[in-house]
Amino acid sequence: MKNEMKMVILIQTDFGATDGLMSASSAGSVLRGCVKTPFIKDFFFVSCVLIYFSLFVERMSVYKKLLSIIEKKKACSLILIDPDKLKGEDIKNFLQKCEENGVDGILVGGSLMMSGDFDDFILAVRQATSLPVIIFPGGVSQVNPNADAILFLSIISGRNPEHLIGKHVLAAPLIKKSGIEPISTGYMLIESGGRTTAEYISGSAPIPRNKPEIAVATALAAEYLGMKLVYLEAGSGAQFHVPFEMVKAVTSYCSIPVIVGGGIRDAATAAKMVKAGAKIIVVGNHFEDKDNWKGLKEFTDAVHGHFET
C-alpha cells in the first residue's frame, strides 16, 4: 500500500457507562473510518475488532475504580441503602439524587431483610443507576450477579470462627458462579455506645473505643493477610461514630484504604474523618429520612475535601 494507514483509538478513562473503555460499536466506527481501501475494509475491520477485544476489553475492577477515585478526589463517598428501608419509586429517585450530587458508589445490604426480595432490590438498583453497585452482605444468601462487586467481609475484631472463615467457605462458590468481583475486607466492629445489630447478629464483641492500639494491630493483621480494605464500623444507627483518634492511628500504620462508617450524621464529621486519614466514608441511616436528601451534596463535598467550616 502506498498510503500509510494510521489508526488512532481514543480510550475514555473516566468512570461512566463505558467502564473505562470505549464501546465496541464506537471502536468499530473509528476502525472503519481508518480504512479507505474497499478491498480490505471488511477483513481489516474484523481483524482489528478481534485484536481490540483481546487486548483492551477488560472492565476496570471496582476496587481499582475506588483507588482511582481516592487518588483524584482525596476520598470516596459511598451511600449504604437497606432493602428493608428504601421502597418503590424512592429507589430510583434517591439514586438519581446520589448521581446528581457526586456520590461515588452504592453499597446495598442489611442484617435482616424483613421484607422484600434481595435479588429484586439489587436489580432495581442496577437499573436505576450507573454508579458502582457493591453488596454489603448481611448473610450468605446476599449474592447477586446484577451487582458489580461484593465486600468479602471477615469480622476480624471478633473471634467467632463462622464470621472469620466459616460463612466465607459457603459464600465463595456462590460469588464465583455469580461472576461479581469480591473485595476482601477486614471488618472491625468498634464500640459505639450501645449494642448494635451487627454485634448481636455476628455474636462478636466490638473493639473498645478507648483502645486504638488494638484497632491498629488488628488492621495491620488484615493488611498482612492480604486484605484489600479495612472497615472501621460503629454500626447502623450508632450512638457514637468511630473516634477520630482511632481512625488516625489505624491509617498512620496501614497502607491499605480504610473505610469508616456508622454514626456519621453531618458533613463536618465526614470531613474530619477524611482529615484523620479515612479514604472511604459510608453513610446510611442518615439518608433514610427523605428530608436529609437535600444534604447529599454537602456530604460528598466534605468527603472530597471541599467542606467549608
**113: Cβ–Cβ under 8 A, 6 or more apart, which residues?**
83, 84, 138, 139, 142
d(CA 74, CA 189): 25
pLDDT of residue 19: 44
Helix, strand, coil tally for the chain in percent (to 5): 45, 15, 40
How much is the pTM? 0.81
What are the 10-residue block averages of pLDDT along the chain, 309 residues in total? 38 40 46 50 51 51 97 97 92 97 95 77 96 95 96 96 95 97 98 87 91 98 98 90 98 98 96 98 95 97 84
Q: Are 81 and 107 in contact (CB under 8 A)?
A: yes
Give the SS3 label for residue 164. Answer: helix
pLDDT of residue 63: 98
**187: Cβ–Cβ under 8 A, 6 or more apart, which residues?**
151, 153, 154, 155, 156, 157, 231, 233
Amino acid identity, position 108: V
Query: How far is the first Cα of the chain from the last one, in angstroms, to the nearest whole number?
Result: 65
Give the domains, in start order, of the chain with CATH numbers.
Answer: 1-60 (no CATH), 62-303 (3.20.20.390)
Which pLDDT tens digit goes with each residue over 128-143?
A: 999 999 999 988 989 9
pLDDT of residue 164: 94
pLDDT of residue 41: 52
pLDDT of residue 195: 86
pLDDT of residue 47: 52
pLDDT of residue 202: 85
Cell matching residue 141? 444468601
Cell matching residue 111? 442484617
For Cα atoms 301, 19, 60, give the angle at the middle one, nearest 5 degrees: 95
